[in-house]
Amino acid sequence: MTSIDLILSPNLRTSSMKTSHLLKERGGEYETFLLNFPVEMEEIVIELAAEHISYDELINEVWRCDLIPEPRGSWEYNIRPLLEALPQLAQTLPNLTICCYGSKEQEFASMKVATMIARLILRTMITGEVEFEKWRDTLRASLEVDRNATEKEAEAILGKTGENSICLSDLGGRRFKRALRRAGLDVKILYVEKFYHFTPLMILKRKMARGSVEDEELEGLVRHHVEYIRSYVYRFRNRDRAHYEWVYNKIPWLRQKINKEEIKLLDSLIHNS
């Protein structure tokens, strides 16, 4: 039976580094490596892996061809370590086929919704009010983008998978599992992070995907997320440190699994990577 491992990684740079290490250790087990970048990027990604172009040349070409939405830094933040590791991975595993299965249209749709959410967060910060229907409408739009992406990307994965493949996705990649199993694939889920906690906004989206969410619960999660943005994302120099500082302070059952001094080192780690 054709098999595929779905490797799920949060949108953090340290998680991308861990993904790179995992691929170097286990890549020999696979025939195909599927990346969640737009299919229009596949040729240039292969060029990077073959060391025909540099990372900077790839980024310049991606933006010249309008393949990824602005802002550039947001997209580059977590994927850079993985892209920079591709030449070594290809050299170590010359028989590994590298493919892309993402959708350019969905990338832009996702960024549009993310911008809408960012504006709502700012409005909530300024006014102190949670506009329930605006939040529901925006999150429904986000869920619709996710559903459209699932259908299109699952089809692309099925068209590119080999006998034994590994497929990279964000934490929403579990959504592919049902479609791939229906097509007869043996699907396994691999998590890059053993311990990870969803942000309040991610929790709210997951709850809305399962059904209705009462005003009180929606307001509580929105206000928690606003605090996360204001007190952590705005405060610290990078997304990784903001997340782990928040987890350490707000999620007691995970605190013992986090070294406070290592969190402080994330500034230099991210800056130098």
Task: Determine the pLDDT at residue 40.
Answer: 93
| CATH code: domain of residue 17 | 3.40.1010
Same domain, 93 and 227: no
Same domain, 92 and 191: yes
Which are the contacts of 15, defined by CB distance < 8 A and separation ≥ 6? 9, 78, 192, 193
Task: Determine the pLDDT at residue 132.
Answer: 96
Same domain, 220 and 186: no
3-state secondary structure of 98: strand
Per DSSP bridges, beta strands 32-38 and 186-191 are: unpaired
Confidence of residue 273 (pLDDT cuts 50, 70, 90): low
First to last CA, the chain: 39
- Tens of pLDDT, residues 36-45: 999 999 999 9
Tell me the C-alpha distance between 201 and 38, whole Å: 25
Query: 132 in a domain, yes or no?
Result: no
Task: Determine the pLDDT at residue 258.
Answer: 85
Domain boundary among 196, 228, 262: 196
Over 80: is that where the pLDDT of 270 sits?
Answer: no
Same domain, 17 and 79: yes
Task: Determine the pLDDT at residue 202.
Answer: 95
Same domain, 161 and 265: no
Over 90: is that where the pLDDT of 195 sits?
Answer: no
Domain membership of residue 99 as a residue range: 3-103+153-196
Task: Determine the pLDDT at residue 100.
Answer: 96
The total domain count for the chain is 2
pTM for this one? 0.89
Same domain, 98 and 220: no
What is the per-residue burial (b if ≥16 Cβ within 10 Å, else e) of 10-40? Answer: bbbbbbbbbbbebbeeebeebebbbbbbbbb
Confidence of residue 272 (pLDDT cuts 50, 70, 90): low
Confidence of residue 14 (pLDDT cuts 50, 70, 90): very high
Averaged pLDDT for residues 42-65: 94
- Tens of pLDDT, residues 20-35: 999 888 888 899 999 9
> Which residue type, as a one-letter code, is found at position 206?
R
Confidence of residue 205 (pLDDT cuts 50, 70, 90): very high
Average pLDDT, the chain: 91
Block residue for tokens 């009180």? 216
Same domain, 82 and 183: yes
Same domain, 184 and 94: yes
Task: Determine the pLDDT at residue 217.
Answer: 97
